[in-house]
Amino acid sequence: MIIINKGKPIVVFLIITVFLFASLNAQENQIKLKVVSELANIRKNADIGSMIIFQALQGAVFTSLGKEEEWYHIKYIQDNGETINGYVHESLVSEIKLPTAEKEEEKPERKAAESVALKQAKAPKTIIREQKTVPSAISKDAPFSISFSGGGNYVAGGDINKGAAGWADYNLDDLQIDTQQNFKPVHLSLLFGGEISFQLNKDLSLGIGADYLFGRKNSSYELSGVSPATFLSVQPEVQALPLRVFLSCSVLPQLYVKSGIEYFMAKCSYLYRSEEGEAWKEWKGNASSQGLGIMAGLGFITAVDSNISLFIETSGRIAKLNDFEGTHTYQDSEGLEYTEEGSLYIYDGQVSKDVSYPLLFIRDKKPSEAGVSNPKKATIDFSGVSLKVGIKFRF
Protein backbone atom coordinates (compact mmCIF):
# COMPACT_ATOMS: atom_id res chain seq x y z
CA MET A 1 0.00 0.00 0.00
CA ILE A 2 2.81 2.41 0.84
CA ILE A 3 4.55 1.73 -2.46
CA ILE A 4 1.31 2.32 -4.44
CA ASN A 5 0.64 5.63 -2.64
CA LYS A 6 4.11 6.87 -3.30
CA GLY A 7 3.74 5.95 -6.97
CA LYS A 8 0.79 8.35 -7.63
CA PRO A 9 2.99 11.43 -8.14
CA ILE A 10 5.07 9.44 -10.62
CA VAL A 11 1.96 8.51 -12.66
CA VAL A 12 0.77 12.12 -12.71
CA PHE A 13 4.24 13.27 -13.75
CA LEU A 14 4.29 10.76 -16.64
CA ILE A 15 0.84 11.87 -17.89
CA ILE A 16 1.85 15.54 -17.86
CA THR A 17 5.11 14.73 -19.67
CA VAL A 18 3.30 12.78 -22.43
CA PHE A 19 0.75 15.63 -22.85
CA LEU A 20 3.46 18.28 -23.16
CA PHE A 21 5.44 16.17 -25.60
CA ALA A 22 2.35 15.59 -27.81
CA SER A 23 1.52 19.32 -27.68
CA LEU A 24 5.05 20.31 -28.67
CA ASN A 25 5.11 17.70 -31.41
CA ALA A 26 1.75 18.97 -32.85
CA GLN A 27 3.05 22.53 -32.75
CA GLU A 28 6.20 21.42 -34.58
CA ASN A 29 4.11 19.83 -37.38
CA GLN A 30 1.71 22.79 -37.70
CA ILE A 31 2.20 24.86 -40.90
CA LYS A 32 1.49 28.50 -41.54
CA LEU A 33 1.12 29.83 -45.08
CA LYS A 34 2.27 33.26 -46.21
CA VAL A 35 0.87 34.94 -49.35
CA VAL A 36 3.74 35.75 -51.74
CA SER A 37 1.72 37.09 -54.72
CA GLU A 38 0.11 40.54 -54.92
CA LEU A 39 -3.34 39.01 -54.48
CA ALA A 40 -4.29 35.42 -53.57
CA ASN A 41 -7.73 34.03 -54.43
CA ILE A 42 -9.19 31.74 -51.75
CA ARG A 43 -11.61 29.38 -53.49
CA LYS A 44 -14.47 27.29 -52.16
CA ASN A 45 -13.07 24.05 -53.61
CA ALA A 46 -9.67 22.82 -54.81
CA ASP A 47 -10.38 23.79 -58.41
CA ILE A 48 -9.30 26.75 -60.55
CA GLY A 49 -12.89 27.14 -61.73
CA SER A 50 -14.33 27.16 -58.21
CA MET A 51 -15.97 30.28 -56.76
CA ILE A 52 -13.69 32.82 -55.05
CA ILE A 53 -14.82 33.34 -51.44
CA PHE A 54 -12.03 35.62 -50.22
CA GLN A 55 -9.05 37.58 -51.51
CA ALA A 56 -5.89 38.08 -49.43
CA LEU A 57 -3.16 40.65 -49.97
CA GLN A 58 0.56 39.91 -50.15
CA GLY A 59 1.99 39.05 -46.72
CA ALA A 60 -1.24 37.62 -45.29
CA VAL A 61 -0.82 34.46 -43.16
CA PHE A 62 -3.24 31.52 -42.83
CA THR A 63 -3.22 28.15 -41.04
CA SER A 64 -2.94 25.10 -43.28
CA LEU A 65 -5.39 22.24 -42.56
CA GLY A 66 -3.82 19.93 -45.11
CA LYS A 67 -3.01 19.68 -48.80
CA GLU A 68 -4.84 18.19 -51.80
CA GLU A 69 -2.40 17.84 -54.71
CA GLU A 70 -1.56 21.50 -55.66
CA TRP A 71 -4.06 23.06 -53.24
CA TYR A 72 -3.71 23.94 -49.54
CA HIS A 73 -6.79 23.68 -47.35
CA ILE A 74 -6.64 26.81 -45.16
CA LYS A 75 -8.45 28.38 -42.21
CA TYR A 76 -8.68 32.00 -41.10
CA ILE A 77 -10.62 33.38 -38.12
CA GLN A 78 -11.81 36.94 -38.60
CA ASP A 79 -12.11 39.55 -35.84
CA ASN A 80 -15.88 38.98 -35.65
CA GLY A 81 -15.25 35.30 -34.93
CA GLU A 82 -16.33 34.05 -38.35
CA THR A 83 -14.10 31.33 -39.75
CA ILE A 84 -13.13 31.20 -43.42
CA ASN A 85 -12.33 27.74 -44.80
CA GLY A 86 -11.13 27.41 -48.36
CA TYR A 87 -8.37 26.43 -50.74
CA VAL A 88 -5.38 28.35 -52.10
CA HIS A 89 -3.04 27.28 -54.90
CA GLU A 90 0.52 26.41 -53.84
CA SER A 91 2.00 28.91 -56.34
CA LEU A 92 0.50 31.82 -54.37
CA VAL A 93 1.89 30.98 -50.90
CA SER A 94 4.98 29.73 -49.10
CA GLU A 95 5.18 27.63 -45.93
CA ILE A 96 6.27 29.03 -42.55
CA LYS A 97 7.19 26.46 -39.84
CA LEU A 98 6.40 27.48 -36.26
CA PRO A 99 9.35 27.47 -33.74
CA THR A 100 10.24 24.12 -32.09
CA ALA A 101 11.27 23.33 -28.52
CA GLU A 102 14.97 22.91 -29.33
CA LYS A 103 17.50 24.44 -26.96
CA GLU A 104 18.10 28.05 -27.87
CA GLU A 105 21.73 27.98 -26.80
CA GLU A 106 22.51 25.08 -29.12
CA LYS A 107 21.09 26.66 -32.32
CA PRO A 108 21.18 30.48 -32.14
CA GLU A 109 20.71 30.77 -35.93
CA ARG A 110 17.44 28.77 -35.65
CA LYS A 111 16.28 31.13 -32.90
CA ALA A 112 16.83 34.18 -35.14
CA ALA A 113 14.96 32.58 -38.06
CA GLU A 114 12.04 31.65 -35.82
CA SER A 115 11.88 35.19 -34.46
CA VAL A 116 11.51 36.54 -37.99
CA ALA A 117 8.83 33.95 -38.78
CA LEU A 118 6.83 34.92 -35.69
CA LYS A 119 6.96 38.59 -36.65
CA GLN A 120 5.73 37.74 -40.14
CA ALA A 121 2.93 35.62 -38.69
CA LYS A 122 1.71 38.51 -36.56
CA ALA A 123 2.09 41.39 -39.03
CA PRO A 124 -0.53 40.43 -41.67
CA LYS A 125 -3.47 40.61 -39.23
CA THR A 126 -3.85 44.34 -39.87
CA ILE A 127 -3.69 43.74 -43.65
CA ILE A 128 -6.46 41.14 -43.50
CA ARG A 129 -8.69 43.49 -41.47
CA GLU A 130 -8.23 46.12 -44.20
CA GLN A 131 -9.12 43.54 -46.85
CA LYS A 132 -12.52 42.98 -45.30
CA THR A 133 -13.50 46.58 -46.09
CA VAL A 134 -13.18 45.80 -49.83
CA PRO A 135 -15.12 42.54 -50.25
CA SER A 136 -14.86 40.64 -53.53
CA ALA A 137 -17.90 40.96 -55.75
CA ILE A 138 -17.13 37.51 -57.10
CA SER A 139 -17.48 36.06 -53.62
CA LYS A 140 -21.09 37.24 -53.63
CA ASP A 141 -21.69 35.49 -57.01
CA ALA A 142 -22.19 38.99 -58.58
CA PRO A 143 -25.89 38.61 -59.53
CA PHE A 144 -25.60 41.09 -62.42
CA SER A 145 -23.18 43.35 -64.26
CA ILE A 146 -23.25 46.38 -66.57
CA SER A 147 -20.74 47.02 -69.35
CA PHE A 148 -19.99 49.85 -71.79
CA SER A 149 -17.86 49.55 -74.94
CA GLY A 150 -16.73 51.26 -78.11
CA GLY A 151 -14.78 50.35 -81.22
CA GLY A 152 -15.00 49.79 -84.95
CA ASN A 153 -17.25 47.75 -87.20
CA TYR A 154 -17.10 46.44 -90.76
CA VAL A 155 -20.35 45.99 -92.72
CA ALA A 156 -20.78 44.39 -96.13
CA GLY A 157 -23.16 47.12 -97.32
CA GLY A 158 -24.94 45.25 -100.08
CA ASP A 159 -27.13 47.19 -102.54
CA ILE A 160 -26.37 50.59 -101.00
CA ASN A 161 -22.83 50.29 -102.38
CA LYS A 162 -23.88 48.71 -105.68
CA GLY A 163 -26.33 51.54 -106.36
CA ALA A 164 -23.83 54.30 -105.55
CA ALA A 165 -21.12 52.79 -107.77
CA GLY A 166 -23.67 52.13 -110.53
CA TRP A 167 -24.89 55.74 -110.52
CA ALA A 168 -21.31 57.03 -110.96
CA ASP A 169 -20.62 54.57 -113.81
CA TYR A 170 -23.98 55.38 -115.45
CA ASN A 171 -23.16 59.11 -115.60
CA LEU A 172 -19.64 58.48 -116.93
CA ASP A 173 -21.03 56.30 -119.70
CA ASP A 174 -23.84 58.75 -120.44
CA LEU A 175 -21.26 61.54 -120.85
CA GLN A 176 -19.19 59.17 -123.00
CA ILE A 177 -16.19 59.49 -120.70
CA ASP A 178 -13.83 56.54 -120.61
CA THR A 179 -12.18 56.84 -117.18
CA GLN A 180 -11.83 54.90 -113.94
CA GLN A 181 -14.20 56.37 -111.36
CA ASN A 182 -12.95 56.84 -107.80
CA PHE A 183 -15.94 55.49 -105.91
CA LYS A 184 -15.39 54.36 -102.29
CA PRO A 185 -17.99 51.99 -100.77
CA VAL A 186 -19.16 52.34 -97.17
CA HIS A 187 -17.78 49.50 -95.06
CA LEU A 188 -16.19 50.85 -91.88
CA SER A 189 -18.34 52.32 -89.14
CA LEU A 190 -18.06 53.49 -85.55
CA LEU A 191 -19.61 51.29 -82.88
CA PHE A 192 -20.81 52.10 -79.34
CA GLY A 193 -22.79 49.83 -77.04
CA GLY A 194 -23.78 48.57 -73.62
CA GLU A 195 -24.98 45.36 -71.97
CA ILE A 196 -26.63 44.11 -68.78
CA SER A 197 -25.86 40.52 -67.76
CA PHE A 198 -27.50 38.28 -65.15
CA GLN A 199 -25.48 35.41 -63.67
CA LEU A 200 -27.14 31.99 -64.08
CA ASN A 201 -24.23 30.04 -62.56
CA LYS A 202 -20.49 30.49 -62.15
CA ASP A 203 -19.83 29.98 -65.89
CA LEU A 204 -23.04 31.03 -67.65
CA SER A 205 -24.89 34.36 -67.85
CA LEU A 206 -27.91 35.71 -69.71
CA GLY A 207 -27.81 39.24 -71.05
CA ILE A 208 -29.47 41.99 -73.05
CA GLY A 209 -27.61 44.65 -74.96
CA ALA A 210 -27.64 47.27 -77.70
CA ASP A 211 -25.16 48.76 -80.15
CA TYR A 212 -25.22 51.85 -82.31
CA LEU A 213 -23.25 51.78 -85.54
CA PHE A 214 -22.81 54.57 -88.06
CA GLY A 215 -20.91 54.55 -91.34
CA ARG A 216 -20.64 57.08 -94.18
CA LYS A 217 -18.35 57.40 -97.21
CA ASN A 218 -18.12 60.35 -99.56
CA SER A 219 -16.53 60.10 -103.00
CA SER A 220 -16.12 63.27 -105.08
CA TYR A 221 -14.07 63.67 -108.22
CA GLU A 222 -13.68 65.89 -111.29
CA LEU A 223 -14.12 64.51 -114.78
CA SER A 224 -11.13 65.34 -116.96
CA GLY A 225 -11.46 66.44 -120.59
CA VAL A 226 -14.97 67.84 -120.11
CA SER A 227 -16.07 71.45 -120.63
CA PRO A 228 -17.53 73.04 -118.64
CA ALA A 229 -15.89 71.50 -115.54
CA THR A 230 -17.95 68.56 -114.32
CA PHE A 231 -17.94 67.03 -110.84
CA LEU A 232 -19.68 63.90 -109.57
CA SER A 233 -20.32 63.03 -105.90
CA VAL A 234 -21.79 59.93 -104.28
CA GLN A 235 -22.32 59.41 -100.56
CA PRO A 236 -23.80 56.15 -99.22
CA GLU A 237 -24.60 55.95 -95.50
CA VAL A 238 -25.78 53.23 -93.07
CA GLN A 239 -27.02 53.37 -89.48
CA ALA A 240 -28.33 50.62 -87.21
CA LEU A 241 -29.42 50.01 -83.64
CA PRO A 242 -29.29 46.24 -83.03
CA LEU A 243 -30.98 45.10 -79.78
CA ARG A 244 -29.93 41.63 -78.65
CA VAL A 245 -30.54 38.83 -76.20
CA PHE A 246 -27.51 36.61 -75.66
CA LEU A 247 -25.88 33.88 -73.60
CA SER A 248 -22.27 34.23 -72.44
CA CYS A 249 -20.18 31.27 -71.29
CA SER A 250 -16.80 31.39 -69.53
CA VAL A 251 -14.56 28.74 -71.09
CA LEU A 252 -11.46 29.85 -69.12
CA PRO A 253 -11.08 32.24 -66.16
CA GLN A 254 -10.32 35.14 -68.56
CA LEU A 255 -11.88 33.91 -71.81
CA TYR A 256 -15.55 33.83 -72.77
CA VAL A 257 -17.76 33.14 -75.77
CA LYS A 258 -21.22 34.53 -76.47
CA SER A 259 -24.00 34.20 -79.03
CA GLY A 260 -27.44 35.68 -79.45
CA ILE A 261 -30.30 37.00 -81.58
CA GLU A 262 -30.49 40.64 -82.65
CA TYR A 263 -33.39 42.86 -83.70
CA PHE A 264 -32.23 45.60 -86.06
CA MET A 265 -33.74 49.07 -86.39
CA ALA A 266 -31.83 50.26 -89.43
CA LYS A 267 -31.54 53.28 -91.74
CA CYS A 268 -29.75 53.94 -94.99
CA SER A 269 -29.38 56.97 -97.20
CA TYR A 270 -27.87 58.02 -100.51
CA LEU A 271 -26.74 61.33 -101.97
CA TYR A 272 -25.92 61.73 -105.66
CA ARG A 273 -24.79 65.10 -107.03
CA SER A 274 -23.75 66.25 -110.48
CA GLU A 275 -22.22 69.68 -111.21
CA GLU A 276 -21.59 71.10 -114.71
CA GLY A 277 -20.21 74.64 -114.43
CA GLU A 278 -22.81 76.64 -112.52
CA ALA A 279 -25.56 74.06 -113.01
CA TRP A 280 -26.13 71.23 -110.57
CA LYS A 281 -28.52 68.37 -109.84
CA GLU A 282 -28.97 66.46 -106.59
CA TRP A 283 -30.79 63.23 -105.67
CA LYS A 284 -31.21 62.43 -101.99
CA GLY A 285 -32.99 59.55 -100.23
CA ASN A 286 -33.54 58.28 -96.68
CA ALA A 287 -35.18 54.96 -95.82
CA SER A 288 -35.61 52.72 -92.76
CA SER A 289 -36.49 49.11 -91.98
CA GLN A 290 -36.43 46.46 -89.24
CA GLY A 291 -35.33 42.86 -89.20
CA LEU A 292 -33.64 40.00 -87.36
CA GLY A 293 -30.03 38.89 -87.28
CA ILE A 294 -27.71 36.60 -85.34
CA MET A 295 -24.37 37.28 -83.64
CA ALA A 296 -21.49 35.44 -81.97
CA GLY A 297 -18.42 36.73 -80.17
CA LEU A 298 -15.20 35.88 -78.36
CA GLY A 299 -13.76 38.02 -75.55
CA PHE A 300 -10.86 38.37 -73.13
CA ILE A 301 -11.52 39.92 -69.70
CA THR A 302 -9.21 40.88 -66.84
CA ALA A 303 -10.06 42.19 -63.37
CA VAL A 304 -8.97 45.65 -62.23
CA ASP A 305 -10.37 45.00 -58.74
CA SER A 306 -13.19 42.91 -57.27
CA ASN A 307 -15.93 45.03 -58.90
CA ILE A 308 -14.40 46.33 -62.15
CA SER A 309 -13.00 44.52 -65.19
CA LEU A 310 -11.67 45.52 -68.59
CA PHE A 311 -12.38 43.50 -71.72
CA ILE A 312 -11.69 43.29 -75.43
CA GLU A 313 -14.15 41.51 -77.68
CA THR A 314 -14.45 40.57 -81.32
CA SER A 315 -17.78 39.48 -82.76
CA GLY A 316 -19.46 38.71 -86.04
CA ARG A 317 -23.05 39.13 -87.16
CA ILE A 318 -25.30 38.12 -90.04
CA ALA A 319 -28.13 40.53 -90.87
CA LYS A 320 -29.56 41.22 -94.33
CA LEU A 321 -32.49 43.62 -94.31
CA ASN A 322 -34.94 44.63 -97.02
CA ASP A 323 -38.37 46.30 -97.27
CA PHE A 324 -36.87 49.75 -96.69
CA GLU A 325 -39.40 52.58 -96.83
CA GLY A 326 -38.59 56.28 -97.08
CA THR A 327 -38.55 59.55 -99.00
CA HIS A 328 -36.68 60.59 -102.14
CA THR A 329 -35.98 64.27 -102.96
CA TYR A 330 -34.75 65.82 -106.21
CA GLN A 331 -33.40 69.40 -106.55
CA ASP A 332 -31.52 71.32 -109.20
CA SER A 333 -30.03 74.76 -109.82
CA GLU A 334 -33.06 75.85 -111.91
CA GLY A 335 -35.32 75.62 -108.86
CA LEU A 336 -37.04 72.36 -109.73
CA GLU A 337 -37.82 70.24 -106.67
CA TYR A 338 -40.03 67.24 -105.99
CA THR A 339 -40.34 64.46 -103.40
CA GLU A 340 -41.45 60.87 -103.72
CA GLU A 341 -42.34 58.44 -100.95
CA GLY A 342 -42.11 54.70 -101.37
CA SER A 343 -39.84 51.66 -101.21
CA LEU A 344 -36.12 51.37 -101.83
CA TYR A 345 -35.53 49.62 -105.17
CA ILE A 346 -32.45 48.54 -107.09
CA TYR A 347 -32.70 48.01 -110.83
CA ASP A 348 -30.58 48.06 -113.99
CA GLY A 349 -30.53 51.40 -115.79
CA GLN A 350 -29.74 50.94 -119.47
CA VAL A 351 -27.44 53.31 -121.32
CA SER A 352 -27.63 51.24 -124.50
CA LYS A 353 -29.11 47.94 -125.55
CA ASP A 354 -26.15 45.97 -124.27
CA VAL A 355 -24.93 48.15 -121.41
CA SER A 356 -26.66 48.77 -118.07
CA TYR A 357 -25.70 49.76 -114.53
CA PRO A 358 -27.34 49.09 -111.12
CA LEU A 359 -29.24 52.11 -109.78
CA LEU A 360 -30.67 52.57 -106.27
CA PHE A 361 -33.62 54.91 -105.71
CA ILE A 362 -36.74 55.24 -103.56
CA ARG A 363 -39.80 54.89 -105.81
CA ASP A 364 -43.52 55.09 -105.07
CA LYS A 365 -44.06 51.92 -107.09
CA LYS A 366 -42.01 49.22 -108.75
CA PRO A 367 -40.02 50.80 -111.63
CA SER A 368 -41.30 49.71 -115.05
CA GLU A 369 -40.50 52.58 -117.43
CA ALA A 370 -38.36 52.35 -120.54
CA GLY A 371 -34.66 51.79 -119.88
CA VAL A 372 -35.31 49.84 -116.65
CA SER A 373 -34.86 46.10 -116.14
CA ASN A 374 -34.67 43.62 -113.24
CA PRO A 375 -36.29 45.84 -110.60
CA LYS A 376 -36.45 44.46 -107.04
CA LYS A 377 -36.50 45.73 -103.49
CA ALA A 378 -33.02 46.57 -102.26
CA THR A 379 -31.22 44.57 -99.58
CA ILE A 380 -28.89 46.37 -97.20
CA ASP A 381 -26.35 43.94 -95.73
CA PHE A 382 -25.31 44.73 -92.15
CA SER A 383 -23.36 41.47 -91.86
CA GLY A 384 -19.77 41.93 -90.75
CA VAL A 385 -17.32 41.89 -87.86
CA SER A 386 -16.54 44.26 -85.02
CA LEU A 387 -13.76 44.85 -82.51
CA LYS A 388 -14.43 46.75 -79.32
CA VAL A 389 -12.96 47.44 -75.88
CA GLY A 390 -14.93 48.17 -72.75
CA ILE A 391 -15.34 48.24 -69.00
CA LYS A 392 -17.60 46.03 -66.88
CA PHE A 393 -19.03 46.80 -63.42
CA ARG A 394 -20.25 43.97 -61.15
CA PHE A 395 -22.94 44.41 -58.52
Residue 172 host element (H or E)? helix 159-174
Fold of 31-134: SH3 type barrels. (2.30.30)
Residue 362 — very low, low, confident or very high, per pLDDT cuts 50/70/90? very high
Query: Alpha-carbon distance 172 to 167, whole Å?
Result: 9
CA distances 241 to 1, 60, 208, 210, 267, Å, are: 102, 49, 13, 7, 9
| Top-confidence residue, 77 or 378 | 378
Read off the pLDDT of residues 149-194 as tens digits, 9 standing for 90 and up: 999 999 999 999 999 999 988 888 877 766 556 688 999 999 999 9
| Top-confidence residue, 302 or 11 | 302
Read off the pLDDT of residues 39-70 as tens digits, 9 standing for 90 and up: 888 888 888 878 888 888 888 888 888 888 89
Is the pLDDT at 314 greater than 60, yes or no? yes
Residue ranges of domains in the chain: 31-134, 139-394
Residue 199 — very low, low, confident or very high, per pLDDT cuts 50/70/90? very high
Cis ω before 228 (30° cut-off from 0): yes
Percentage of residues in the chain having pLDDT higher than 90? 52
Helix, strand or coil, per DSSP, at residue 32: strand
End-to-end distance of the chain based on CA atoms, in angstroms?
Answer: 77
139-394 to CATH, choices 1.10.10.10, 1.10.3720.10, 3.20.20.10, 2.40.160.20: 2.40.160.20
Smallest CA-to-CA distance from 161 within 346, 387, 376, 377 is with 346
Beta bridge partners of 274: 232, 281
Query: Alpha-carbon distance 133 to 203, whole Å?
Result: 27
Query: Alpha-carbon distance 366 to 368, whole Å?
Result: 6
Residue 2 — very low, low, confident or very high, per pLDDT cuts 50/70/90? very low
| Top-confidence residue, 93 or 77 | 93
Read off the pLDDT of residues 116-136 as tens digits, 9 standing for 90 and up: 444 554 444 444 343 433 343
Is the pLDDT at 330 greater than 60, yes or no? yes
Residue 180 has a pLDDT of: 58
Residue 301 has a pLDDT of: 96
Residue 101 has a pLDDT of: 45
Smallest CA-to-CA distance from 326 within 391, 265, 238, 267 is with 267
| Average pLDDT value for residue range 286-293 | 98
Helix, strand or coil, per DSSP, at residue 261: strand
Q: Which residues are CB-neighbours of 223 under 8 A, at least 6 positions away?
A: 172, 175, 177, 179, 230, 231, 232
Residue 121 has a pLDDT of: 47
